[in-house]
Structure formats: C-alpha cells, structure tokens
Amino acid sequence: MDKFRIQGGNPLEGTIQTSGSKNAALPAIAAALLTAEPVVLRGVPQVRDIATMLRLLEDIGATVERDGSRVRIQAANVVKPEAPYELVKTMRASSLVLGPLAARAGRARVSLPGGCAIGARPIDLHLTGLEHLGATVSQEHGYVCAEAPDGLRGGAIHFDRITVTGTEDLMMAAVLARGETTLVNAAREPEVTDLAALLNRMGAQVEGAGESTIRIRGVDRLHGAEHTIITDRIEAGTFAIAAAITGGRLAITGAPVEHLDALVAKLRQAGVRVEQEGDSTLVVEGGRTLRSVDMTTEEYPGFATDLQAQYMALMTQAEGIAIVTETIFENRFMHVPELVRMGANIRLDGRRALVAGPRQLSGAAVLASDLRASASLVLGALAARGETLIDRVYHIDRGYEKIEEKLAQAGARIERVAG
Ligand code: EPU
C-alpha cells in the first residue's frame, strides 16, 4: 500500500489548478445509462472512484473510451442492470445507477452498501423515492431490486432528510417517467445543478435544480450530449486551507469561486486573506495569526462536511478554542485521533470536536481512514515540524487527482512511497 512521506514546515507558494469535480462526474457518468446515444464528458478527474464508476458502466454493457479528462460513454444496450457487491463495497456512489437503470431497463439490482468509515449511510430514501415512482422494491441476499416493467410514472417525493446522491438518483429516474415528478426538500448542491444541466442537454425537462423543489416533466427518450463537468469545490477548498495552514500564498486557478462562499467566509474570519481574481482564481494568503472560529457542517450552501476534517486541521493552528460540529454524518471524526498523535489538542464530545490551539504539530506515522480524513492529515503534515508518514493513501487517490504533484509544484516536500 502506498504511503506519503511529507516534510513539513515550509509555506506553499505558487499556482495550483483545480480539477473537475469527482462528485459531479459520478452522477454524470451514471446519466449516460439513460440513452443509447453517446455522452461525452469533459473535465472528468482521473481518480479512483471515477475509474470504478466507469468499470461499473462497462459491466452493465456500456462502451467507455477515455482520453485524459475526456470520457465518451455509449450505453447502446443494457446487458446486465446490476451493481455488484464487489464494486459497491469499494464505492457507495455505485447506487447512483439504481434510478437510471430502473428508468431505462425497467429493472435494477444493486448491492446494499452497508456501513462505511463515516457512518451508516443507508439508501432508504432512494428506495422509497423509487416506490413513489411506481417501482416495486424488494430485498434479498444483500441486494435491492427495483422493478418497473411497464416504466416509471411521475410522482411527488418528499425527502425526510436532504440527500445529495438520493436527489440525483431520483432525478435520473424521473426524467424518463410518464408524467410529472416533484422532488421536495431536494439537495441544492452544485453537483445536483450540474447533473440537471447535463440531463437537460440530453433532452430532459428538469426545472428548479439548485432550489429545494425540483420539477421534472418526463420525456419518452433522451439523446446523446456533450457536457463539461464543474470544477471541484472540495479540492479547491483543500488547497485554500493548505495555503492558510502553511502560512503561504497560493493562487488556485479554475476554482468554482461561487461554490466556496461558506469556506471563504470562515477563512476570512480566521484571519486568512482571500481574494478573487477574475472569474475563477482564488488567491489565499496565510501568514498572520490565525483566530479560532466555530464551524457547523450543513447541507449546501452551508459549510460542506467534505471540508470539515481539513478545516479542523487548520483550527489546530488557530488561537483559542474552535467548536467544530458535524451534523451530516454520525462518525466523521476518524482524523481526530491521528491529528492528536501529531500533537493537536482536540476533545470529542458526541458530534462536536473542541479544538484548542495553536499547537505546534510534529511529524508522526499516521493512518488515513477515509478520503477527506486523509486530506486533513496531509494538511497537518504540511504544517508539522519534521517528517510524517501517511499510510493507506489509496483513500486519497479515490478523490484527489495527483495531489502530491500539485502540492509539490507549490513547494511542498511530499513524495509517494510505493508499498
Ligand atoms: N441518508 C439516509 N438515507 C438515505 C440517504 C442518506 O439516511 O437514503 C443520510 C446519510 O446517512 C447521511 C445524510 O443522509 O447521514 C446525508 O447523506 P447524503 O445522501 O447526502 O450523502 P451521499 O449522497 O451518500 C454525497 C457525497 C459525499 C458527501 C455527502 C454530503 C457523492 C458521491 N458523495 O454523499 O461525498 O459527503 O454527499 O455532502 O456525491 C466525499 O466526496 O468524500 C463524500 C463522502
């Protein structure tokens, strides 16, 4: 298993380019199942979760051609409308094929995801939603099966709680359903809006994405389309925090600036200088004394849970006590014991973490437990004195494209040690 060896202590300086968004590309790839014609996506990041999703589509019967960040997918036939356990267990987002397969093939069989490092993460809301669209849902041998041999029909779906992939999954199911569907209490994340843009390019009639009620008028068929995926707000946010935590100065280009308001507001309150240059460059400059600022994760447009771990690493370097509250996932504090091993002063109290700073971190051997936790360890290591060895970086490879190259280009002393 690969490791990262990081020598901390030097400020990052320079320019880092943002990649395409993993969490926008995943549903876009699944959407290609809705038509027999080719769907061409640009700006698809080269990360492991994307490779897994493409493999799943090939398994289902699609042909996939990949040329760097451009991917062409054609699902002329759906051969096997199924997401097997082997793939779902490595990537929960595989459940995104449920809606498209039920809509296109009238049948979908998807392994139940089970728990994961950050919480229980059931898909019950995807399933009850499909039932509202007329599917019959059953469960056996660890798989759920959604069947709608005569096609789905529009319906009113009210989400009990906001779910990002649930909203995406049901939006994809509804575009080919007979009649009109409304999704109430839908997720407003930019990734949902990007998916709606792709679906509309394919001939769908989706209105209101980005708001909490989405209206979809079903159509008989969709056609091929070309679409450029939005850039990754979580990756850009991670680099912004890297500049702040090392007291450096980074220009983050291609950043989806309009999707980063919550983070930028917190960084400014904490004493970090953040300026926008042009449409899509964020210049982030640390170096001044950091102040502790409390933060609570929320659905978009609130502070993203996917940046909580990284923000917590930053707060270890801030003066005072910051209360970080995680409201989206019940167990997303796996980075805490590892940051504590590096010298951080963090106390856990249920869904809250109390981070007291500043504490000089010192390099240590640590273990990555999930994607965003790994990113926070990289950030801690960049700020630490001495050498940190991060084990299990396959977690970070799931969602960050060439992170070590990008950071090294800005002066980080980071290398991958093959294991
Ligand atoms: N939930 C349910 N039932 C459901 C669906 C969700 O109880 O049927 C609960 C979850 O257990 C969780 C909460 O609702 O407590 C929100 O989960 P959501 O469904 O919104 O999460 P997700 O769609 O599985 C996406 C991202 C995650 C990101 C979350 C929250 C993708 C592929 N994944 O997951 O990204 O943390 O939204 O913003 O879009 C990551 O990239 O590292 C990552 C984990």
Q: Are residues 79 and 33 in the same domain?
A: yes
Q: Are residues 365 and 260 in the same domain?
A: yes
pLDDT tens, residue by residue, 293-308: 999 999 999 999 999 9
Domain count, the chain: 2
Q: Are residues 14 and 64 in the same domain?
A: no
- From 21, 29, 121, mutation site for ligand 1 pocket: most ligand atoms within 8 A of C-beta: 121
- 3 state DSSP class of 381: helix
Q: Are residues 55 and 127 in the same domain?
A: yes
The string of DSSP letters for 38-94 reads EEEEES----HHHHHHHHHHHHHT-EEEEETTEEEEE-S--S--EE-HHHHTT-GGG
Q: Are residues 171 and 285 in the same domain?
A: no
The pLDDT, as a whole number, for residue 116 is 66
Query: Position of tokens 């999954």?
Result: 169
- From 96, 132, 164, 306, mutation site for ligand 1 pocket: most ligand atoms within 8 A of C-beta: 164
Residue 116 annotated as catalytic: yes
Residues of the chain whose pLDDT is less than 70? 114-116, 118-120
**Residue 112 alpha carbon to ligand 1 centre in Å:** 15
Q: Which two tokens stand for residue 204?
A: 């769908």
Last residue of a domain, one of 228, 247, 277: 228
Task: Give the domain range for residue 387.
Answer: 3-19+231-417
* 124 ligand 1 Cβ < 6 A: yes
pLDDT tens, residue by residue, 356-414: 999 999 999 999 999 999 999 999 999 999 999 999 999 999 999 999 999 999 999 99
Last residue of a domain, one of 162, 194, 228: 228
Q: Are residues 316 and 222 in the same domain?
A: no
Q: Are residues 64 and 147 in the same domain?
A: yes
* 114 ligand 1 Cβ < 6 A: no
- Active-site annotation holder among 64, 116, 354, 408: 116
The pLDDT, as a whole number, for residue 114 is 67
Side-chain half-sphere CA neighbours of 63 within 13 A: 7
Q: Are residues 42 and 70 in the same domain?
A: yes
The string of DSSP letters for 109-145 reads EEE----BTTB----HHHHHHHHHTT-EEEEETTEEE
pTM of model > 0.95? yes
pLDDT tens, residue by residue, 56-67: 999 999 999 999
Q: Are residues 67 and 31 in the same domain?
A: yes
Q: Are residues 284 and 220 in the same domain?
A: no
Q: Are residues 217 and 163 in the same domain?
A: yes
> How many angstroms from the chain centroid is the CA of residue 138?
29
Q: Are residues 11 and 90 in the same domain?
A: no
**Residue 354 alpha carbon to ligand 1 centre in Å:** 24
Of all protein residues, whose CA lies closest to atom 29 belonging to ligand 1? 164
Of all protein residues, whose CA lies closest to atom 10 belonging to ligand 1? 121
Last residue of a domain, one of 228, 246, 267: 228
Number of alpha helices (DSSP H) and beta strands (DSSP E) in the chain: 14, 24
The identity of residue 183, as a single letter, is L
Q: Give the CATH number for residue 190.
A: 3.65.10.10
* 347 ligand 1 Cβ < 6 A: no
